[in-house]
Amino acid sequence: MAVAARDFMHHIDDFFHYRKTIYEISDQTLKSNRVDLSLFKNFVQDRNVKTVDGPSVMGFQYYLKQERTNCGGSINRKLFTLRSYGNFLKLKNIPSAENLPFYDVLKIRQGYRQRPHALVPEKIKILFESIDAGTVLGIRDYAAYALMYQTGLRVGEVHALNLNSLDFKNHKIMAIGKGNRPRTLHMNKELEEILTQYLAVRPNFYRSWENDALFLSKKGNRLAIRTMEDNLKKIVQYAPLNVQFNVTCHTLRHSFASHLNDNDVDILVIQSLLGHSSPRSTETYIHPSMDKIREAIEKLPSVLYVKELIRTGVLNLNFQQPYKPKKE
C-alpha cells in the first residue's frame, strides 16, 4: 500500500525543524532541500497524483530529465532529498511509509566529471584590477572576492561573516562552514589591509551601525549571495580574461586550492583550509597546472635521454624532410 500524496506532503515543516535542530544542517542546505521538495509537491499537484509510488517517482524523473533538462547529478540530489524525507516519515510511523520507493531508484551515473576550472595567477591579477576600487561598492566587492581567493572561503561563508568574525590582533578569521563546522583561517598582511580599507568605508552604508554583518548591501542589509555572484559576473564580463569557462565565486575557491597545490602544499593542509571533512572532497579541487605537467614531462628519463642525444649531436633532427619531387 502506497502513501497518499496528501499525507506525504503534510510533514515537510516538521522535517526541516528536525534536520535543523538535531543535525544542525546549514541554512543553505535546508534551502536547497526545500526547493527539491517544493518541486516534487508541484509535480504531484499539477499531475493530480494520488499516491507516492514507483510510477509517480519514475514520472518525476522523466519530468526532471525531459522537461527541466536536469543533469544526472541534479536528479540524484533531488531523489536523495526525497529519500531523506521518506526516512523521516518512517521514524514518525506514518502509515505505509516503509513502502516508499525512493531506495529502489538507482543512482544515475554521471560519467567522467570534469575537474573544476581555476584561473592562473596572471588572470587573477587581471580580474582584481578590473574591480572599480575607487567607489564604496567597489571596495566592498574587492574585499569580499579577496576573502574568497586568499582564504578559500565559499561565497555562503563570506555571506555569513560578521564583524566579530575578524580578529586583527591575532590575524585570524573565524568562519562557519558546511554542517556548522567552525574553522579558523590566517589573515595575511595584504588581506588585513584590504579588509581595513573596506571597514573604513563601511559606515557609508545605510544604517550600518544597526547590522553586525561584515558585508552590507546598499540598503544596509546583509549582502546576499546572489548579489555577490551577479556582481562578479558583471566584472568578468568586462575583464579581459579570455578564458573558455564561466568564472564564478567558486572559481576563486578552486584557484586558491590549485595555487596552493602548485606550491607543493600538503593535501591535508588544503583540506583543512577548505573545510572539507574528507581528503576525497579536496581531490576534486586540486589539479596540476599546465606548467607543472610540462615540468613533470620534461623530467621523464626518456625525454632527458633524447635531449642529451640531440645536445651531443648523436641525434640530428630536422623539422621536416627536404622536398623531393616524385620520379615519373
Please list the active-site residues.
Answer: 154, 178, 250, 253, 276, 285
Total count of residues recorded for the chain: 328
Nearest to 92 by CA among 104, 101, 100, 80: 100
CA distance 268 to 243: 30
For 106, what's the count of Cα atoms within 13 Å in the CB-facing half-sphere? 3
State the greatest distance between any 2 C-alpha atoms of the chain, in Å, as a whole number: 93
H/E segment holding residue 296: helix 290-298
Nearest to 162 by CA among 132, 188, 135, 182: 182
Cβ atoms of residues 174 and 182 within 8 Å: yes
Cβ atoms of residues 117 and 251 within 8 Å: yes
Nearest to 85 by CA among 156, 7, 27, 28: 7
- Angle, vertex CA 231, rays to CA 227 and CA 232, nearest 5: 120
CA distance 128 to 324: 55
Give the β-pairing of 166-167 and 51-52: unpaired
